[in-house]
Chains A and B, each alone.
Chain A
Amino acid sequence: MSTPRDIVTQALGLSLKNRPTTAGVENELRLVVNRALRQHWAAGCRINPRYFAAFVQVPSVTTTWSAGFWARPEDAEIVFQINNPASAAVKVVPADQAAAFQGYPAVQRWDGGYLGFNGPAGPSPTDALTLYYARRPAEAAAVDTPLDALWPAAYDGLLVMEVAIYLARKDGRADEQDALLAERDAWFTLYKNFLEHETLGEERLFHPDRFTEISEKPLAGGTPT
């Protein structure tokens, strides 16, 4: 797995105007790598949340809400399934429509977590719920710390381009930016295509459960084409 130093080294090689880095600059660029990783990881979660899947059992907190409150995991980008202790799916429903779902285990979104209704089908206020979610990446603490192991290393080029764009923009090298942005977008397309097609032949009864359009684009480094 690559380290931020690997990414930065490749980015520096993309322009003759880049200079060798100092320790301070390396640390600055490590933060740029982490930021780019978070950004593209989040975009990837919206395309294929199960690729970045994790789960955790969340205990209930009843000190404020007697019906039970389950906090969202701190590293959760997208929660896509909640199970009760009997491994039955818990539906997430709007509070004003809870009556229609009384026959099912159900919670509502609340304060970055989930609030129970204490309805006949539960979950009961003392249940621990299992949350399945697309997680956020672990960030590299040092320039030689490997990137999160779940990051698909084949698309390191995307992070390299983000660092190169950052350097060009910081130096005011507008003439280089357009070419770098175009190459960044090409890498993003490859990354997006990978997440859309990482497993083929999945049989489905219904439409894929997408959160957004598949043309999700990166946010930083200028407006992508």
Chain B
Amino acid sequence: MPWFGDWLGGGGSGSAVVGGPFSAGDIIRQARTRHPAFSDRAIPVPVALSLISTVQADLHQAAQQRDTFYVVGTYMHLLTTFNPAVPLPAHAGVSGGRVLLTTDADGTGELYVTSRPARMHAPRHWVAVLINQQLTLVGDADYWSNVREVDVYYAPVATALASEADALLLPASAWSAVIAALAAQMGARCAALGISGVDVAGLTNQANTAISVWLDTVGRRGKAIPLRLTGGVR
């Protein structure tokens, strides 16, 4: 699925394309049906796009905090010429990565993204630290000489949605949460317009419930217990 990025299937160099399974227009049309006041006239599409952009950014960041792998893109950094600085695309978080060794026969290795103080204690060879939104490979050119490519798994940022055709970053499981959250924002706007009969508190409660359920799904509570052979490096 496109919202995973293309790293599961391997791929060439460059950034993975990341997009969710539904468009901004899908969500806006669904949210409008939550109240008869949520018409085009009360909430023009440019306003709805602005609201849904904020809703998505908030939900995405909250989900990223609960599971750094919940939505992942891949940035492929070639080491044909050694360059320790990996200029990542705008990202909400970095999850880790892998290194591709010089020949296919040599296989791949795990890339560990650590904090700067912990980098010397990382359990494997290939370590990078994130400094000032830029990933820096630890070691010199000799150290990385048998690595031809570094693939970094990162969570992209949720950028502003500019048209109804734009795809959301959020995965399919966020359907109800993002609709309810947008409906709550629409309700607040209609109340500000002086339209009576909009239960803003009720819409907000529904949104909070849907968001809470979804974030639980993203985090540990909604999942099967993951099998780990070793501890993480966080």
* Minimal Cβ-Cβ distance residue in A for B197: A207
> Are the C-beta atoms of A101 and B36 separated by less than 8 Å?
no
Give complex CA distance A104, B165 in Å: 13
Given the interface pairs A100-B46, A101-B46, the reply to whether A207 lies near B163 with Cβ below 8 Å is: no
- Contacting residue for A205 out of B36, B41, B163, CB 8 A: B36
Given the interface pairs A100-B46, A101-B46, the reply to whether A206 lies near B163 with Cβ below 8 Å is: no
Given the interface pairs A103-B163, A204-B36, the reply to whether A209 lies near B41 with Cβ below 8 Å is: yes
Binary contact track A99-110/B, C-beta < 8 Å → 1, others 0: 011011000000
Number of cross-chain contacts by CB at 8 Å: 26
Is residue B39 within 8 Å, beta carbon to beta carbon, of the partner chain? yes
Give complex CA distance A45, B51 in Å: 35
* Minimal Cβ-Cβ distance residue in A for B190: A207
Query: Which residues of the other chain, B, contact A209 by a CB distance below 8 angstroms?
Result: 39, 41
Query: Which residues of the other chain, A, contact B36 by a CB distance below 8 angstroms?
Result: 204-207
Query: Which residues of the other chain, A, contact B146 by a CB distance below 8 angstroms?
Result: none
Give complex CA distance A205, B30 in Å: 11
> Are the C-beta atoms of A207 and B39 separated by less than 8 Å?
yes
> Are the C-beta atoms of B37 and A206 separated by less than 8 Å?
yes
Tell me how far the C-beta of A140 lies from the nearest C-beta in chain B, rounded to whole angstroms.
37
* Minimal Cβ-Cβ distance residue in A for B29: A205
Give complex CA distance A206, B31 in Å: 12
Give complex CA distance A209, B195 in Å: 13
Give complex CA distance A101, B33 in Å: 22
* Minimal Cβ-Cβ distance residue in A for B38: A206
Is residue B77 within 8 Å, beta carbon to beta carbon, of the partner chain? no
Query: Which residues of the other chain, B, contact A207 by a CB distance below 8 angstroms?
Result: 36-37, 39, 42, 195
Give complex CA distance A207, B32 in Å: 11
> Are the C-beta atoms of A206 and B46 separated by less than 8 Å?
no
Binary contact track A199-224/B, C-beta < 8 Å → 1, others 0: 00000111101000000000000000
Query: Which residues of the other chain, A, contact B44 by a CB distance below 8 angstroms?
Result: 100-101
Give complex CA distance A104, B39 in Å: 17
Query: Which residues of the other chain, B, contact A205 by a CB distance below 8 angstroms?
Result: 32-33, 36, 39
Give complex CA distance A104, B44 in Å: 11
Chain B stretch 26-71: residues in CB contact (< 8 A) with chain A: 32-33, 36-42, 44-46
Listed A/B pairs (26) with beta-carbon separation below 8 Å: A100-B44, A100-B46, A101-B44, A101-B46, A103-B162, A103-B163, A104-B45, A204-B36, A205-B32, A205-B33, A205-B36, A205-B39, A206-B32, A206-B36, A206-B37, A206-B38, A206-B39, A206-B40, A206-B42, A207-B36, A207-B37, A207-B39, A207-B42, A207-B195, A209-B39, A209-B41
Task: In the A-B complex, list the 3 residue pairs whose CB atoms are closest, starting with the nearest.
Answer: A206-B39, A100-B46, A206-B36
Known: A103-B163, A205-B33, A206-B42. 8 other contacts (CB 8 A): A100-B46, A104-B45, A205-B32, A205-B36, A206-B38, A206-B40, A207-B42, A209-B41
